[in-house]
Structure 1
């Protein structure tokens, strides 16, 4: 359980680093005339992602779930791959990346890196991590609950991003929020 706690805390630290990058990038985007959309769903996203981390630890501790190597090791590999994909997205979007939906008019749509093949690759990372992180140590309920809630939230989030991109003055613009 100790190593799993360290893993979840490491993911929490990574999320904190993401928020620092997002705040810096939000200032960059807003200074260039960026407009924010989706403020209403953002708090739900924060609660959901915080709940994922807390749920992982709580379920494993409360239910005393054992580590099952046949599930845990592959799930850990997926968690690590998801982190790699997430940071590839962040690097590819540069200052346009954000956890919020901020679109800067006039910027071209980013089509390099993982965006060359996927429309929303960071959400692939979020989905993979949301399933895999709990399963590393057998937190099946957390994996299922996060996946269902995240699916609903992603429907809202992706619609918000697509609408924001489509309604900018100089469409297609780059999404600052391909988070």
Structure 2
């Protein structure tokens, strides 16, 4: 396989947006299940920003990788490894939460907080995994400009989201 200028950005596009579509489908099914079980949707202004920033950030990074002629070398290999590790952490969180995992913040009345599986080790493994995805794709695509902007911007959105979730679940004091 030749390492042409489109190869790695094309592979990244298929991997990133393919897994994103699968995750969106699963989140949608889980949200319907949760709502049917009596869950309430928590007001979450970060969600509308996440819905735009997440796919747009990946697309921008991949386009910069294409523009720069991303090729297979040390940084790309490290980036792919970090991206895949991030996915593994995220999927461990998804597996542990089961139908309780969704894109929206939904609170299921009287349901205990999940503290088994990866949640016994990390407080927010889903977001740790997303952080790995973001840093990993930037290194994999050798995209320092959009990668940095994506990481910083989405990092702030994730911190905002974590505060919303923790308040909703009673883990942080209310302001």
Across the two proteins, how many residue pairs are aligned to each other?
Answer: 166
**Paired residue for 1:177?**
none
**1:70 is the counterpart of 2:78:** no
1:157 maps to which of 155, 161, 164: 161
- How far, CA to CA, are the matches of 1:66 and 1:28 in structure 2? 42
- How far, CA to CA, are the matches of 2:147 and 2:129 in structure 1? 14
Uncovered stretches (5+) of structure 2, i.e. residues with no partner: 1-5
**1:110 is the counterpart of 2:93:** no
Contact 1:130–1:147, Cα closer than 8 Å, also in 2:
yes
**Paired residue for 1:91?**
95
Q: CA RMSD in A?
A: 1.5
- How far, CA to CA, are the matches of 1:151 and 1:98 in structure 2? 19
The TM-score with structure 1 as length reference comes to 0.87
- How far, CA to CA, are the matches of 2:9 and 2:170 in structure 1? 42
Contact 1:132–1:143, Cα closer than 8 Å, also in 2:
no
Contact 2:64–2:143, Cα closer than 8 Å, also in 1:
yes
**1:52 is the counterpart of 2:53:** no
2:25 maps to which of 20, 23, 28: 20
**Paired residue for 1:171?**
none
Question: 1:110-129 to 2 correspondence within 5 Å?
Answer: 110-129=114-133
Uncovered stretches (5+) of structure 1, i.e. residues with no partner: 168-179
Encode CA deviations 1:105-141: one digit per residue, 9 max, x unaligned. 1111111111001110110111111011121121111
Encode CA deviations 1:19-56: one digit per residue, 9 max, x unaligned. 11111111111111111114422121011111122112
Deviation at 1:86, TM superposition (A): 1.1
Contact 2:8–2:71, Cα closer than 8 Å, also in 1:
no
